[in-house]
Amino acid sequence: MKRLLASFAALPLILGGVQAFSQESDADLRARETEQQMTDDERFSLLISVLGNVPGASVPADPRVADLENASAGWTPGVPRLGIPDLQSSDASMGVTNPGYRPNDPGATAFPASIVVGSSFNPELAREGGIAIAREARSRGFNIMLAGGMNLTREVRNGRNFEYYGEDPLLSAILASEQVNGIQSQQVISTLKHYTLNANETNRHWLDAIIDPVGHRESDLLAFQIAIERSQPGAIMSGYNKINGEYAGGSHHLLNEVLKGTWGYKGYVMSDWGATPEWQYALHGLDQESGAQADRFMWSLDAEPFAAPLRQAYAEGKLPKERLSDMVRRILRSAYAVGIDKWEAAPAVDMARHNEIALEIARQGIVLLKNENVLPLPADKPLKIAVIGGYAQQGVISGTGSGAVAPVGGFASTTKIGGAGVMGKHRNLYLFQPSPVEALQKAFPNAQVEFDPGYTPAEAALTARRADVVIAFGIRVEGEGFDLPDLSLPWGQDAVIDAVATANPNTIVVLETGNPVSMPWRDKVKAIVQAWYPGQAGAQAIAEVLAGKVNPSGRTPITWPASLADTPRPTLSGLGTPWGTPVTIRYDEGAEVGYRWYAKKDIKPLYAFGHGLSYTNFAYSDLSLSVGAPDMTAVESHPATVVNASTPPAGDVKADLLSGGDAVTATFTVTNTGDREGADVPQLYLTAAPSEKRMRLLGFERVVLQPGESKQVTLTVDPRLLARFDGKANQWRITDGAYQIALGKSAGDLVLTAATELDGRMLRKE
Ligand code: BGC
């Protein structure tokens, strides 16, 4: 087998990183010194956060936070004599929330949902959004953002998928880590959440997620592992659910053994709100209880279950002193590593700039799913445009739940939907202005834009018939606490779209949903635009895509099934069970999540993972693979952010390369063969491993090209994506033999293929 010689020029750099592992960082040292000076009262006080008083909440008002003007999801008093600031946390991934916790907030930037960032395949946008969110958080005194939601889409019915980055571990890890890097660069701690397998909402507090542990390591856990290496998040939030019978927040295996043991994670683990029923979780790896009142309420207890019992356990010798110190040290270490104790004047908040960032994310994240020569529409013609449904005369919609963000000036409107469980009262149809109707009128100044609410199919068809072109909006409120029973659009919208498409063949559908939809009208319409939940600037981005001012470049990070029967769980267990019912969901697909599943089963989906059209065309050529010396420039091009000079730049990739492992590097050329500027997202996949069909996204890059322009792209593959996890050896193993690799426009449209031989070997010992 041909090997290239290692380039040793990069070695001092790598050794520097490895050396840092063995040394105690400044943050470690300071945490140790401070903790030693603390009293037990101070120590215990740091181990819980208290939920801010939420108007109209199920949890009664609490005197501990009565005087706090700006309490949100969590507050922990600091220790002023030791310079430890209060810990104040807020949600998070789509901007500073939220209408539930702090209704008097003047409004924050409502960024697009994380699934839009997922569709952009653009780590820089994730980072920029993170920076902007953190600046708005800091200006309100929040030093912890509960961001970095990155559960993989195992279920297209999961109501919270819009808060995450899609179904692929690598894509999710890169984007989530860049959000965290952006946030932490502003001296605000970020979480990555919800660790792990919180992939469904139905009865989530009683949900037992069953998975083969090896498959888990190769999917959801790998995503967290990579994201942690790349961003060193100050905290990890555990999920509500159980995993193989054990609650995530009390899982010795996942917290002590995997996260803190094998991966060497040095930050702290906080629970999700209402997910800590007993103090013993502290022995299993939980470092801080979140929203203490929520736990009492959630589990109908007479008293809060963590703080006081933990103290008692300590007095009785059941909680070792070393563990108590470790919990405290971890929290302090994150505070020091990120620098929340070093705040000076809050950074300037430029809301106009933040709106630009929100707009850019929406522009890059909107996905053109289908286009039969109808888009872009001529922007200067005196068209008669019928806009149908989706409250498009009022605004674009937001996902609902703890992540919803009220923008400056408030929502255009809020409609209470309601539903079962504690999240029922937070399930709302929120609309952001400006409306698509206004934005379309601006983008098509000579057009006559007529709105019809889509109240009935017959009425909508009358409006559609007299237009040159119909833009029908389909919306669906999705959010925390609820899974979807099926993929249809609510309120009879499928029938309305069908009726307008029958009345007028020039129908374009714009979807604002957090998940794929079933689209029974698909063959009748000329174009389909997936806008997801595009945030406060979403209407403008939609109009710009339709008018061709923006050339669409989003790629769906979730596979669209042709039918739920094609998915790993045609029937979702637990759906329809009353609040409080124990539910078991088997994730028998294991590591074969999303497109991996469709490839394994040879099923053609409606739209493949990574699919998205453009108004120009791209060609790929010259795919070549090299195996051997690591190209350190490529590995270094996405470095883990070192939030403090002494934070070790962790990374199995580098460590593995140092131990003599081969790096697979792919090089290829992308050319814009059309006549307008556009961005493409070439995607590199493993399609087969020795004696096994196995699909894995190995790398991607968003490339902006002028007409006729070509660029050469080089991607270096994380060896774990070519390996299998050997559960017995607790190590990643490369099987000896031939590997098929393909370059594609999506997981379903592979253009060039290549093969390489790899030597069988173990990767670095975990
Ligand atoms: C959600 C978390 C959120 C927390 C605090 C929980 O309901 O699952 O994602 O950070 O509330 O608002």
- Same domain for 492 and 635, yes or no, is no
> What are phi and psi for residue 472, nearest 5 degrees?
-100, 125
pLDDT tens, 242-260?
A: 999 999 999 999 999 999 9
Residue 764: count other Cβ atoms within 10 Å of its Cβ.
Answer: 17
Interatomic CA distance for residues 63 and 168, integer angstroms = 44
Are 89 and 188 contained in the same domain? yes
Is 584 a domain residue?
no
Nearest CA to ligand 1 atom 2: 272
> Which of 53, 102, 402, 480 should be mutated for ligand 1, with most atoms under 8 A from CB?
402
Cα–Cα distance between 301 and 207 in angstroms, integer?
20
Residue 519 maps to a domain = yes
Closest protein CA for atom 5 of ligand 1: 73
Are residues 301 and 380 both part of a single domain?
no
Q: Is the CB of 688 under 6 A from ligand 1?
A: no
Is the beta carbon of 73 within 6 A of some atom in ligand 1?
yes
User: Domain with 422 in it: what CATH number?
Assistant: 3.40.50.1700
The partner residues of 710 in beta bridges, in order of sequence, read 671
- The reply to whether ligand 1 has any atom less than 6 angstroms from the CB of 402 is yes
Tens-digit pLDDT profile for residues 691-729: 899 999 999 999 999 999 999 999 999 999 999 999 999
Mean pLDDT (whole number) for 91-110: 88
How would residue 644 be classed by pLDDT, with cut points 50, 70 and 90? very low
Q: Is 541 in the pocket of ligand 1 (CB under 6 A)?
A: no
Residues 705, 757 within the same domain: yes
Please say if the pLDDT value at position 154 is more than 90. yes
Measured distance CA(399)–CA(478) in Å, rounded? 6
Residues 71 and 165 in one domain: yes
**38 and 81 together in one domain:** yes
User: What is the 115 CA–ligand 1 centroid distance (Å)?
Assistant: 17
Q: What is the pLDDT of residue 661?
A: 57
632 pLDDT exceeds 60? no
pLDDT tens by residue, 654-700? 444 433 456 899 999 999 999 999 999 999 999 999 989 999 999 99
User: What's the token pair of residue 608?
Assistant: 């493949």
Distances (CA, A) of 765 to 35, 225, 664: 32, 14, 20
Answer yes or no: is the C-beta of 272 below 6 A from any ligand 1 atom: yes
The rounded distance, in Å, linking the Cα atoms of 552 and 376 is 10
CATH number for 330: 3.20.20.300
What is the atom index within ligand 1 of the atom nearest the CA of 240?
8
The burial of 245, by beta-carbon neighbours within 10 Å (0-12 exposed, 13-18 middle, 19 or more buried), is given as: exposed
Angle at CA of residue 254, ends 250 and 258, nearest 5°: 145
Q: How far is the CA of 673 from the centre of ligand 1 (A)?
A: 46
The owner of tokens 């029958």 is: 502
605 contact partners, CB below 8 Å, separation of at least 6? 559, 560, 561, 562, 566, 595, 598, 748
pLDDT band at 648 (very low <50, low <70, confident <90, very high): very low
Three-state DSSP class for residue 500: helix
Mean pLDDT for 407-411 is 95
Position 560 in a domain: no
- In this prediction, residue 384 carries a pLDDT of 98
User: Are 396 and 251 members of one domain?
Assistant: no
Query: What pLDDT, on a 0 to 100 scale, did the predictor assign at position 12?
Result: 30
Looking at residue 631, what is its pLDDT? 42
Residue 643, pLDDT > 70, answer: no
Ligand 1 neighbour 151 (Cβ under 6 A)? no
Q: Is 195 in the pocket of ligand 1 (CB under 6 A)?
A: no
Domain range for 482 is 366-550
101 pLDDT above the threshold of 80: no
For residue 596, tell me if it sits in a domain.
Answer: no
Helix (H, G, I), strand (E, B) or coil at 166: coil
Stretch (H or E) spanning 753: strand 749-758
> Tell me, what's the pLDDT at 766?
67
Coil, helix or strand at residue 560: strand
Residue 55 above 50 pLDDT? yes
Query: Is 1 inside any structural domain?
Result: no
Q: Find out whether the beta carbon of 146 lies less than 6 Å from any atom of ligand 1.
A: yes
Are residue 310 and residue 272 in the same domain, yes or no? Answer: yes
172 has pLDDT over 50:
yes
The per-residue pLDDT for 14 is 31
Residue 400 lies in a domain: yes
**Domain annotation covers residue 477:** yes
314 and 371 co-located in one domain: no
Average pLDDT of the segment spanning 573-594? 95
Using a 6 Å cutoff on CB, does residue 196 contact ligand 1? Answer: no
* Structure confidence by residue, pLDDT tens digits, 307-331: 999 999 999 999 999 999 999 999 9
Give the range among 414-423, 512-521, 716-725 with minimum mean pLDDT: 414-423
The atom of ligand 1 lying closest to the CA of 149 is 9
Mean pLDDT, rounded, for 563-589: 95
Burial category of 370 from C-beta neighbours within 10 Å (exposed 0-12, middle 13-18, buried 19 and up): buried
Q: Specify the DSSP class assigned to residue 282.
A: G
| Residues 331 and 395 both lie in one domain | no
The whole model's pTM is what? 0.94
Instruction: Give domain status of residue 567, yes or no.
Output: no
- Residue 383 pLDDT greater than 60, yes or no: yes
Q: Which of 91, 93, 162 to mutate to test the pocket of ligand 1 (most atoms within 8 A of CB)?
A: 91
629 in the same domain as 506: no
Residue with CA nearest ligand 1 atom 10: 146
Q: Does residue 395 have a pLDDT over 60?
A: yes
Per-position DSSP letters for 614-649, written without gaps between them: -SS-EEEEEEEEEEES--HHHHHTSPPP-SSTTS--
Residues contacting residue 590 through CB under 8 Å, at least 6 positions apart: 211, 212, 214, 215, 216, 218, 219
Give pLDDT tens digits for 203-212: 999 999 999 9
The predicted-structure confidence for 435-484, as pLDDT tens digits, reads as follows 999 999 999 999 999 999 999 999 999 999 999 999 999 999 999 999 99
Query: What average pLDDT score do residues 757-763 get?
Result: 92
Residue pair 593/222 in contact by the 8 Å Cβ criterion: no
Average pLDDT of the chain is 92
**Partners of 371 in the beta sheet?**
527
Instruction: Give the pLDDT confidence score for residue 23 in this predicted structure.
Output: 59
Q: How far apart are CA 703 and CA 695, in angstroms?
A: 23
226 shares a domain with 295: yes
Instruction: Give the number of other Cβ atoms within 10 Å of residue 210's Cβ.
Output: 14
Going 206 to 477 to 406 to 139, the CA torsion angle's sign is: positive
Q: Which of 272, 422, 425, 480 to mutate to test the pocket of ligand 1 (most atoms within 8 A of CB)?
A: 272
Under the banding of pLDDT at 50, 70 and 90, the label for residue 102 is confident
The CATH number assigned to the domain holding 761 equals 2.60.40.10
| pLDDT computed for residue 48 by the predictor | 98
pLDDT digits (tens, 9 = 90+) for 522-532: 999 999 999 99
pLDDT tens digits, 484-497: 999 999 999 999 99
Number of folded domains that form the chain: 3
